[in-house]
Structure 1
Amino acid sequence: MILSRRPRPTALISLVPMIDVMMILLVFFMVTSTYLNLDMIPALRPSDGASQSNGSPDLRLMIRIQADGTPSLRGETLSPQAMAQILQQTLSEDPAAQLVILPSGSAPTQALITVMDQAASAGVQNMRVLRLEARP
């Protein structure tokens, strides 16, 4: 007598659970990651041969835009005329001077545009906007 066995069921390997786990991990890492644009942080400036031969440091001017939209330099509030005068004086000392604008998080965007427009009309060619955020 020949006994017939039932054929063993073939193991079905499903990739659906693995794909679900990978999607959850992807969403988790995307949400918890922070990205920095390191180009906007003026930590180091590539030095050219002209500034090395003079031995003088590159000039940087940091203008903060306060929450009410008024620009300030070293804690002093600047009027548009005073800012234009300071920019002209800085550019006369070093035409490649760097202007760093640091707007407050609650400052209106128009204040940033106004400062950038005044700097461009004064002849500033090296300008950066630096946005700082508080860490929780």
Structure 2
Amino acid sequence: MGHDDLPTLELAFPGPERDRGVAAIQNGQKTALTGLLEIYEHAGEAVPAAGQRFAVLDSEGSPAVTIELVDVRVVPMKEIDDDFARAEGRGYRDAAAWQAAHEEFFRSAGVSEFLGRTPDVGDDTLVVAQRFRAVGTDAP
């Protein structure tokens, strides 16, 4: 199956944040990602499952790398541990730093605009914690 046949996945919003995330997947630093469950529900999207593959898009909307999910859990933010936080490949030193950054992002203007309100985010907020492996680089 080529990347044209795969569902797509976009990290953060287009720009430097997304570009750093895509590069971190390509170089093996990023092997986990987190989504706010409320975003999936608002979009009417099912929570992904282990075994699913996605074409990760770059800031131009082009497939950059293909990933395969190896573990997917819906958990409260407080259950994210240091190992998962570091696997996000963003330089988080521990789960507390991961949580602070994700709370800020989930309350950002872009997320609030998509949801139509600013979500309440804290220890008990449900997130979709996903571990994956890169299975192909789609960039030339």
Whether the TM-score (by the shorter chain) exceeds 0.5 is no
Q: Which is higher, the Rg of structure 1 or of structure 2?
A: 1
Pairwise TM-score range, normalised by the shorter structure: under 0.3
User: Higher helix share goes to which structure?
Assistant: 1
Q: Which has the higher contact order (CA 8 A, sep 6+)?
A: 2
TM-score (norm 2): 0.26
**Higher share of residues assigned strand:** 2
